[in-house]
Each structure stands twice: as C-alpha cells, then as structure tokens.
Structure 1
Amino acid sequence: MALVGANVGVAKLLAEALPIPLIACLRCILACLVLWPLARALEGRVRPGRAALRNLALQAVFGTAIYNAGLLAGLRLTTALEGGLVLATLPAVVALGSAVWLRERLAPRQWLATALAAGGMAAITLARLDGGAGGSPLGNALVFCGVLGEAAYVLLAKRLAGQMPVITASFWMQAFSALVLLPCALPGLGAAVALAEPRLAGLLVFHSLTASVICLLLWYAGLRRVPAGVAGLFTAFLPASAATTAVVLLGEAVSVVHVLGFGLMGGSLLLATWPARASR
C-alpha cells in the first residue's frame, strides 16, 4: 500500500504526458512480461478453473480499469495531495464491504478505526476553506470512483486468496487487465513516441514494476494471512505515502488541516492493529 501511494505522484506526472488508457495498458503489458516467466519458474504450469478466471477478470475490471481511470482522470484535475486524501476513504469502504459481502465480523475498535480513516475525506473540504485549496471537487469525485473500484478488487482478491499461487494469480489479473484496456489504448498509441524521453520511460517502468508486480505479490501473499477488513485498514498507508510523494516530488504545499487528516488515519491504523489483550 505504501508503494501504491508513492505511485500516485508518479501517475500524475505520467498522466500529464500520456493518454490515461495507454499508461494503464502499457503498465499491465510490462507487468505480464515479468510475471509470466517468474510464475513458470517458481510455480510451474497452473491451470486456473473457470470460477477463478471469472474472479480474476472482475478484479481486472474493478482494480485496474475503473481504479486507474478514476485515479488518473481525477489527478489531472486535482492535486496529488488531495487525491491521496480521497484515497483515505478506502479502508472504510473495504471494511464495510467485507462486513456486508464477505460476512466478516468487525470488532468495535475496527469500526472506530474505519470512522477515523474516513475522517481524512473531511480534511479536504476543511483544507480548502482554510485556504489550502488547489484541488477540484470533480477531480476528487473521480478519484473516489477509483476508490470504489479498488475496494471491489480487494474483496474479490480476498475471495480468491489461497485458491491459486500468488504469482500466477497476479499474472492472470494483469493479462485480463491488458485485454480490458487495449481497445481504449489503441487510439492513443501514437502518443507512445513521448516514451523516447528516458525520464518518462523510466517513470513508466517504475510505475509498472512497483504497482503491477511487487504490490500485487505482496498484497496476495498478505491476504492469505489476514481478514479483508484488517487488510483494508492497512490501505491507510496509501494516502500517507501519496502525500509524501506529492510534497517531496511534486512540491505541493501541505496545510495544518491536511496534517490533521493524516493524523486521524495514523490513529486508525494503530487502533486497528494494536495487539488484543489476552483473555485470562
């Protein structure tokens, strides 16, 4: 999640130079080129069943197509810092989804942690009223659409966890993602000449290897060990690292209210993951 957040700033730089569908499609293709030989070498030949393939295809639609479309389109209108704060609602959406859809029981402190994480969204409005504006309501709304897609992806991935080897599942998810995005990416293919610039090409490679390879492998492996509701709360790392990237890499200004919003998310994470007292 920290790596995904760091990619918010990178995605903003890429979105300013390349069409959004092209960025997402190239990212998935590059990831497949890495994941395919890795899966064959470490996990051998695996034939996923129809139900697993259907689940992975849905993950591609929600977690790649909808998430990236919402995020990248929104980042063209809003700041990376405010986009990261909108992403702070992800733990709340995932926790609610895991309780309603996966029937996972959340402890009272997890509900409280979810409420604290959702407080990051309110910080955007307060920051704008406080003079720390620079974002866009439409841009923030588009990023939130991406949040809904990412939340659906998290829940679908949890439902699949343990049914397929991690690297193989990651490969199929990226392959389906490339197929979903290809029709939208083809009209903007000519813009790929901009990748002749080494800096831009390097950003795309970094974006692909971290967001579509390393993050997926870590996420699928982690979901085998923790409930989806708890995993969703760790998405609080996403807006925190997005804000750090926005300030350090893009030079965006941060207000006191922004800091308060991230403080709420930090408290949310501590509350959700603090070891429970052993019963006597």
Structure 2
Amino acid sequence: MTIAYLQLALSMVLTGINVVVGKLLAEALPVPLVVFLRCVLATAVLWPLARRMDGPVAVPRAVLGNLALQALFGTALYNAALLAGLRLTTALEGGLVLATLPAVVAIGGALLLRERLPRRQWAAVVLAGGGMAAITVARAAGGADGSAFGNLLIFCGVLGEAAYMLLARRIAGRVPVITASFWMQAFSALVLAPFALPWAGEVAALAEPRIGGLLVFHAMTASVLSLLFWYAGMKRVPAGMAGVFTVFLPGTAALVAVTLLGEAFTLVHVAGFALMMGSVAVATWPRRGGNA
C-alpha cells in the first residue's frame, strides 16, 4: 500500500508542478499552440503504449462519442482555460482555484446525475467558496499579483474537468484507461488544430532548449505519467481514500510558485489555502459509514 500511496501522491505532485510549467509555457507561446502540441506529443506516446499494454481494442461508436466529449471538456477546454488564465493570474492562485474541483464534481453529480449530496459535501462546497473568496480579497486588497478574470478562466477549466469526470462515469470499465486516454488526446488534437494552425510560425520558439524541454515535460507528465501513476495507485487504494491525495495538487503548485517564481504568499492566501485544503479533505476523505 505504501507504493500505491506514493504513486497517487506523485501523480498529484506532477499535476501541481505543471500549473507552474503551464504558466511559463503560456508566457512564451500562444495558448492554442501549447495545448495542441501537448496533445500531439501525448498521442504519439500513448498510441504504442496502448497497443502494448491494452492490445487491439474495438471501441464502440457510442463510447467514442463519449470520449470525444471528454476530450472537448477535459482536455481542450480545461487546458486552454487553465493556460489562458495563468497568463493573467499567478500560479499560486491558479493552484488554489484548481482545489475547487472535488466540490464542483460533487455539485455536478447531484445536479446532472441525480446523486445524493451528503451534508459533508455541502460543507466542502462552502469551504471551497470561502477559499475562492479569500484569494479574491487578497487580489482586490493589492496583496497579490493575481487577476480576478484569470482566476475565472481557470475556474472555467475546473468546470471542464468536472464535466470530463462526470462523463467518464458513463463509460467506466468499458474501455482500458490507456486506450481511452489515447482517443481523448487524438480527439483533442483534432479539435485544437484549427485554432493552433494560425500560430504555426511560433513553433520556432521551441528551438530554445528551455521552452522545448518545458513542452516535452508538460506533455509527458501531465498527459502520460500522471495518468499512469494515478491509475496504478487506484488499483490498490479505495476511490474515497485516493481522493485525499488531491491535496498534493494545490500544495505543490503553491510551493513551486513561491520558491521558484517568487510569488507572494500573503496571510489571506494562507486563509484561502487552509479553506481549500479543508474543502478537499471534507469532500474526499473516506466515510466510515452512513451518508453524513
């Protein structure tokens, strides 16, 4: 179980690091081009990986349609909104906004899938809202370099990722994970191609080792390694317990943003961080029994 815990934690740590990496890439390249190239690189790696680990898989047409929607919301919208938002706001605040994901998924499940929302899930929603309010207050008070509009864009990305997770429940177990990921990345590349092509001339910036290396790291860790680590850990850890490890995402994003980018971590950010972590813990901590 220790190895499984480490795999889950590493998956979320890599995701948190990529908040900062995404910000650096968004400052160097047009957002549509970054997301498109990330999808192309991930597809090139996932195709042989899926063939080797999953073997030939006949994916039903209905499942392909669902995967296309997951790609649209969970890959294209999420990444485009995240990177666009990170051009305006700080990586620190971006990571905190991403911590609202468990609460948003809980609300989506209640509204769209008619799932019962226990009291503690409502508590998680309130805590997440308090965390968002705290970082907004910090920005308005001039104690941070964030942006309300940038944070809003990242929250739109959270909505896209939540839609992806809810759609994934419809086809859970019908397609192997790596095969499903390959199709989602391929569909995403097709969706993003028309938006990326006008910026094709900017590819020359990848000749700079720093930018090219960041893009490869971004694609391989966010779209391949994080996925493999997460599902490897999920094979041995109950879903409820696995959700607890999402605390590593905003925690890592905040740590890297403060130490490497020198972003200010104000007292209001401390309050927002505490509320966000409380929200994630309340939303994902496994229940001992009952629905309270």
Query: What TM-score comes out, normalization by structure 1 length?
Result: 0.90
Deviation of 1:215 after TM superposition, in Å, equals 2.6
What does residue 182 of structure 1 align with? Answer: 193
- 5 Å-filtered alignment, 1:102-117, equals 102-117=113-128
Contact 1:91 1:236 in 2 (8 A): no
- Which secondary structure does the structure 2 equivalent of 1:7 belong to? helix
**Is the partner of 1:62 in helix, strand or coil?**
helix
Aligned to 1:73: 84
Task: Select the residue among 41, 52, 57 that pairs with 1:41.
Answer: 52
Hey, what's the Cα distance between the residues in 2 that align with 1:161 and 1:103?
17
The structure 1 residue matched to 2:183, chosen from 167, 172, 180, is: 172
Which residue of 1 is the match for residue 239 of structure 2? Answer: 226
Structure 2 distance, partners of 1:277, 1:171, is: 36
Mapped pair 1:157 → 2:207: no
Q: Structure 1 residue 103: deviation in Å?
A: 2.7
Please list every run of 5 or more consecutive structure 2 residues that lacks an aligned counterpart in the other structure.
1-11
Matches within 5 A, 1:244-259: 244-259=255-270
Match of 1:61 among 72, 79, 86: 72
Call closer, same or farther: CA 1:210–1:258 in 2, change over 3 Å.
same
Unaligned stretches of 5+ residues in structure 1? none
SS of 2:99's partner is helix
Shift of 1:30: 0.8
Q: Give the secondary-structure state (helix, strand or coil) at the position aligned to 2:239.
A: coil
Separation in structure 2 between the aligned mates of residue 2 and residue 155 of structure 1, nearest angstrom: 23
1:214 is displaced (CA, Å) by 2.1
The answer on whether the counterparts of 2:144 and 2:266 sit within 8 Å (CA) in structure 1 is no
Q: Find out whether 1:99 has 2:117 as its counterpart.
A: no
Q: Deviations over 1:40-60 (max 9, x none)?
A: 111110011011101110011
Is 2:74–2:160's contact at 8 Å kept on the other side of the alignment? yes
One of 28, 36, 39 as aligned partner of 1:25: 36
CA contact 1:21–1:181 (8 Å) conserved in 2: yes
Q: Does 1:5 align with 2:2?
A: no
* Distance in 1 between residues matched to 2:103 and 2:93, nearest whole Å: 17
- Whichever residue aligns with residue 75 of structure 1, its letter is L
Tell me whether 1:212 sits opposite 2:223 in the alignment. yes
Deviation at 1:265, TM superposition (A): 2.3
Residues 20/195 of structure 1: CA separation in 2 closer, same or farther (3 Å cut): same
Deviations 1:192-231 (A, max 9, x none): 111111111111111001111123345566499637xx87
Q: Which amino acid in structure 2 is aligned with residue 226 of structure 1?
A: A
Query: Are the counterparts in 2 of residues 236 and 266 from structure 1 also a CA contact under 8 Å?
Result: yes
Deviation by residue 1:161-203 (Cα, 9 ceiling, x = unmatched): 2110111011111110111111111111111111111111111
Q: Distance in 1 between matches of 2:157 and 2:289?
A: 39
Amino acid at match of 2:114: R
Contact 2:76 2:192 (8 Å CA) reproduced: yes
C-alpha contact (below 8 Å) 1:25/1:177 kept by paired residues: yes
Contact 1:43 1:168 in 2 (8 A): yes
Aligned mates of 2:100, 2:145 — CA distance in 1: 20
Contact 1:91/1:118 (8 A) holds in 2? no
Are the counterparts in 1 of residues 128 and 275 from structure 2 also a CA contact under 8 Å? yes
Q: 1:176 to 1:126 in 2, by over 3 A?
A: same
CA deviation string 1:82-133 (max 9, x = no partner): 2222223222211100122223333322321232233221111221244412
The aligned counterpart of 1:196 is: 207
Gap change, CA 1:122 and 1:234, over 3 Å in 2: farther
Aligned partner of 2:254 in structure 1 is: 243
* 189 and 91 in structure 1: CA distance in 2 versus 1, 3 angstrom threshold: same
> Cα distance, 1:79 vs. partner?
1.2
Q: Deviations over 1:258-278 (max 9, x none)?
A: 111111222233334445446
